[in-house]
Amino acid sequence: MLLSFYNLVELHILAVIRREHQVKMAKVRGAIDYLRNHLRIQNHPLIQQEMQTDGANLFIERLGDLINISQSGQRAMREVLAAALRRIERDPKGLPVKLYPFTRSGLKDAPSLIVIDVNLSGGRPVIAGTGLATEIIAERYKAGDSVSALVRDYGRTAEEIEEAIRCELPAAA
């Protein structure tokens, strides 16, 4: 089964909410229920609103207030946006168009060298600012090419090549 770009963005958001911020699944379900029932967001509720978290609950900004959507819409104090949510670029309508996925388990200060852009390379991950698919780099690496050879061949930095490999082959990089 293939995932749509929106499904991929939702999975990214869910993974970060659960892995980095350790928000319990019951709180995520409560937030989704709130978005569906009170804001009438039926399709892709996790990407229709920019969310924030304090590590326990999920929040959205609504009419200047921060609303705790995990707790049935209670108002909350403003918290800093999560690093993961800043890795999503949105179009003027607020819909996601680019995702800079995490390529390593440590999410703090993770580089944004890889991008998934719905309008580039069929939505496959590429090195940011290029059309160079991470899949091609990873295949050559798996075939035995060294990072230095790939740097030389593609004219990219070692960090970009390593991130491309890490994107496709997390255990290898």
DSSP summary character for residue 8: H
So what's the pLDDT on residue 141? 96
Please name the amino acid found at residue 6: Y
So what's the pLDDT on residue 56? 76
Residue 67 in contact with residue 35, Cβ under 8 Å? no
Answer whether 0.75 is exceeded by the pTM. Answer: no
Domains and CATH numbers, the chain: 5-84 (no CATH), 114-168 (1.10.10.10)
Helix (H) or strand (E) holding 26: helix 25-38
Pairing between β-strand 96-99 and β-strand 88-90 as defined by DSSP bridges: antiparallel
Torsion on CA atoms 143, 146, 148, 151, rounded to nearest 10: 20
So what's the pLDDT on residue 78? 41
Nearest-10 crossing angle of helices 25-38, 5-19: 130
So what's the pLDDT on residue 155? 96
Nearest-10 crossing angle of helices 147-154, 134-142: 140
The total of other beta-carbon atoms located within 10 Å of residue 103's CB is 21
Widest distance between CA atoms in the chain: 55
CA–CA separation, 123 and 116 (whole Å): 6
Nearest-10 crossing angle of helices 134-142, 158-168: 90
Question: How would you write the pLDDT of the chain (173 residues) with one tens digit per residue?
Answer: 678 898 888 888 888 888 877 888 888 888 888 888 888 877 888 787 777 777 777 777 777 677 777 776 655 444 434 566 778 888 888 888 999 988 876 555 678 899 999 888 888 999 999 999 999 999 999 999 999 999 999 999 999 999 999 999 866 55
Q: From 168, 87, 104, 173, select the one nearest 134 (Cα to Cα).
A: 168
